[in-house]
Amino acid sequence: MEAFNNLMYGFGIALEPINIAYVFFGVFAGTIIGMLPGLGPISALALMIPITFAMEPSSGLILMAGVYYGAIFGGSTSSILLNAPGVAGTVATSFDGYPMAKQGMAGKALAIAAYASFIGGTISVVFLMLVAPLLSKVAVSFGPAEYFALMVLGLTAVVSLSDKSLVKGLIAAVVGVMISIMGIDLQTGTERFTFGSAHLLDGIDFLVVALGIFALAEVFYMLLRGGGGKEQPRNAIGSLKLSRGEVKQIAGPIGRSSVLGFFTGVLPGAGATIGSFLGYSMEKRLAKDGDTFGQGNIKGVAAPEAANNAACTGSFVPLLTLGVPGSGTTAVLLGALLVMGVTPGPMMLEQRPDVFWGVIASMYIGNIFLLVLNLPLIPLIARILDLPRPLLLSLILIFCMIGVYGMSFSIFDLLLLLGFGLLGLGMRLFGFPAAPLILALILGNIMEESMRRALQISGGDWMTFIDKPISLGLLVVALLSLGLPLVKKAWIMARAQRA
């Protein structure tokens, strides 16, 4: 009953006309940005931060959440029509979505993606509503030692679950923490790594790094890969209608993948990409016609689409209840919240119920918008994909510039943006994952603060991190998560030998 009352309170906020407009705008903008090949939810969210800067925190987060799941859905459109996923979380959608499009069933695939996203999103919001307050109650008892351990786990999980080198992931994370601690140390007033520059006394704004490493680096990468005007022909949309038999076929996969996706999203480091792959492979195994997966099976579109949207919602659980993001995308969301003056965490439910329940309620509305917007408008929205690449690249550049300058009014930050863009390009070329860097950038300061507070309380005794059972447990899991890629490698080698 309490959850119902809280949800009604949330609807009171989410149904304010201005917030409805923000959800609509967020979902719409997210769908369009996510659709553009190369631009994922992180770039979409980073580009939106300057807009949310002056907003009420609840409205700002409502808009950002809309952008997030809109971008995930938008990615599926380019996956299906172009076989060029705009977002990693929709790669699995292209396995069957693109073959369907080639068979003249793009409309059907897009409609399945819209229904699956809607149902996946809606089921997972119910779970979010039920799980988040429970976890908040547990997290209230967390002290600085537990928080430090939790952040270490968040970082190691993101590193170990990335498909790139473990060592390179850890390097990216260390560099992210290094960037985060630049500026004046708030506990002692000591300057660290400012190189005598007054511009660096407050450290480096995370928006500069996020836009540089993701959006600008993507522009540079597209330029290197012949971004000068090669357009890819897209498949025609065709009919959006589904038969009753097809609805029956996809109902099971959508339901199962929604639940799986949500719990995958809750786990630190997992999220939409892993959720969608798990959903896809689970359905492939369960289906009687599993051998037709990859050739345009409708279940192969429904499962990853339900899972990725559900995982998106699931990733809000650690962010809202613990204040610790489990992925690069939610790290950017956390950064945006901090800019708006809201610190997520277990106390948020007590201190800012408007933000907490407002966002949850807005997700129900956002999912409806996602369906209403995408079903009738998809043939129209898909025309965005015809936008000439040179114009698109120039527009992204302008958005990056105004995003940074509009926040800091600093020419120095524009030059830093360029530097991070080049760094991001280098990271991409040489196989360094960017998500650990951005997550570490957001967590670095808080991590150091938690570590120092824990040591202050224990009088400098490092055993404090091991004496507390929760902290010890989290650190052990963090250590085990680093061993995961080695286990995976050994398993693949053993399988290869057996074959």
Partner 1 sequence: MTRLNTNQILALILALVALAYLAMAWQIPAFPLPRPIDSELFPKVLGLSLLGLSVALFLEKPKAQDIPDQLDPEEQAKPLWMRPWSRVVITAIAIAAYALLLVPVGFVLASTLLGVGLSAYYGYRRHGVNVAVILGVVLALYLTMTRIMDVYLPTGVLPF
Are 53 and 407 in contact, with CB atoms under 8 Å apart?
A: yes
Asked if 380 touches partner 1 (CB under 8 A), the answer is no
> Cβ of residue 250: shortest distance to partner 1, in angstroms?
34
For the chain, what percentages of helix, strand and coil (3-state, to nearest 5) are there?
75, 0, 20
327 phi-psi bin (left φ>0, alpha ψ -120 to 50, beta other): beta
Instruction: Report the nearest approach of partner 1 to the CB of residue 29 (Å).
Output: 13
Does residue 489 interact with partner 1 by CB under 8 A? no
Residue number, 402 or 494, with CB nearest to partner 1: 402
Site for partner 1 contains 21 (CB under 8 A):
no
8 A C-beta contact, residue 393 and residue 215: no
The correct pick among 5, 351, 456, 487 for binding partner 1 (CB under 8 A) is 456
Q: Is 406 in the site for partner 1 (CB under 8 A)?
A: yes
Asked if 154 and 163 count as a contact pair (C-beta separation under 8 A), the reply is no
The answer to the question of residue 168 lying near partner 1 (CB under 8 A) is: yes
Q: For residues 66 and 24, what is the distance between their CA atoms, to the nearest angstrom?
A: 7
Q: Of residues 232-291, which lie at the interface with partner 1 (CB under 8 A)?
A: none
199 contacts partner 1 (rule: CB under 8 A):
no
Using rule CB under 8 A, residue 468 touches partner 1: no
SS3 417: helix
Answer yes or no whether residue 224 interacts with partner 1 by CB under 8 A.
Answer: yes
Rounded to a whole number of angstroms, the minimum distance from the CB of residue 219 to partner 1 is 7
Q: Which of residues 421-450 bind partner 1 (CB under 8 A)?
A: 421-422, 425, 429-431, 448
Contact 275, 307 (CB under 8 A): yes
Q: Is 218 in the site for partner 1 (CB under 8 A)?
A: no
Q: Measured from the CB of residue 43, what is the shortest distance to partner 1 in angstroms?
A: 17
Structure tokens belonging to residue 289: 């016609």
**Residue for token digits 């898909």?**
382
Q: Is the dihedral of CA 199, 205, 207, 211 positive or negative?
A: positive
Structure tokens at 190: 């000591």
Of positions 170, 267, 331, 333, contacts partner 1 by CB under 8 A: 170
CB of 326 to partner 1, least distance (A): 22
Give the whole-angstrom CA distance, residue 207 versus residue 407.
9
| Contacting residue, 12, 229, 376, 483, with partner 1 by CB under 8 A | 229
Region 126-145 residues binding partner 1, contact defined as CB under 8 A: none
Closest to partner 1 by CB, 103 vs 165, is 165
- DSSP single-letter state for residue 422: H
Q: Which of 376, 388, 473, 483 binds partner 1 (CB under 8 A)?
A: 388
Can you tell me which of 140, 347, 377, 402 binds partner 1, judged by CB under 8 A?
A: 402
CB of 390 to partner 1, least distance (A): 4
Q: Report the SS3 class of residue 184.
A: strand
Which range binds partner 1 by CB under 8 A, 151-159, 160-168, 252-260, 299-307? 160-168
In the complex, minimum distance from the CB of residue 349 to partner 1, in angstroms, rounded to a whole number: 30
Q: Check residue 200 for interaction with partner 1 (CB under 8 A).
A: no
The whole-angstrom separation of Cα 376 and Cα 361 is 24
251-255 contact pairs (CB < 8 A, 24+): 253/279, 253/283, 253/286, 253/287, 253/299, 253/302, 253/303, 253/306, 254/115, 254/116, 254/119, 254/120, 254/302, 254/303, 254/306, 255/119, 255/123, 255/306
Rule CB under 8 A: which residues touch partner 1? 50-51, 53-54, 164-165, 167-168, 170-171, 174-175, 177-178, 181, 185, 187-188, 190, 192-193, 219-220, 223-229, 388-391, 393-395, 397-399, 401-402, 405-406, 409, 411, 414-415, 417-418, 421-422, 425, 429-431, 448, 451-452, 455-456, 458-460
